[in-house]
Amino acid sequence: MPYLLDQWIELESFENYRNWKTPKGFLCGTYASSVLLAYWYDQLDGRCLAPNSRVKNDPRSEKIVEQLQPWLQPIDLPTVSLQIAIGLNRFFRYYKIPYRARQTSLGSWQRVTKRILKGEPVMIGLMYLRGSTYKNHWVVVHGFMETSAGERFYKVHDNWGNSAAVIPAKWGNGTISLVSQNETAY
């Protein structure tokens, strides 16, 4: 699906998650996963979380973070996309949730644009070696823009405090997206 240059393509507001901030350590993978799943639950499909783990549109994150951390970051160490995808898929199987996580290890633009155009957010890893001033970090993309000059940007929920940060797309390296078990993956 084509999109217009020099215009943001964005999902519904991420303001409900603006206070979902990583309190300490290396839990950005768990917090970004929590935001991704909360948005899916609130806006797209309530079947993506375990029973009683969230009240729709609740501005608090504690329950989801507590459920996900043992699956994704049990010892609070940094994460890579494969680790997040495996942890989410184990979480989905354990709770019999009809979803799976898909991951890519390199790049992000193609996956992000396809999913945002479909109405779905995408987690991306930011990489220091690709210029990220966040160093290595996980965020959730909820918008993108490509300029007529060829520059590409993402609007992201950053779990260090900004729910609408704008970053260069070139910082992205690795993605996590959700796929219903009934959906044909692409």
Tens place of pLDDT for every residue, the chain, 186 residues? Answer: 678 899 999 998 788 888 888 876 678 999 999 999 999 999 999 999 988 889 998 888 889 999 999 999 888 778 889 999 999 999 999 999 999 999 999 889 999 999 999 999 999 999 998 988 888 999 999 999 999 999 999 999 998 878 889 999 999 999 999 999 876 554
Could you tell me if residue 2 is inside a domain?
no
Tens of pLDDT, residue by residue over 131-181, are 888 889 999 999 999 999 999 999 999 988 788 899 999 999 999 999 998
Could you tell me if residue 11 is inside a domain?
no
Q: How far apart are CA 111 and CA 76, in angstroms?
A: 27
Q: pLDDT value at position 153?
A: 98
Task: Give me the CATH number covering residue 128.
Answer: 3.90.70.10
Q: pLDDT value at position 151?
A: 97
| Count of domains for the chain | 1
Could you tell me if residue 102 is inside a domain?
yes
Could you tell me if residue 132 is inside a domain?
yes
Q: pLDDT value at position 21?
A: 85
Could you tell me if residue 135 is inside a domain?
yes
Expressed as residue numbers, the domain containing 75 is: 23-179
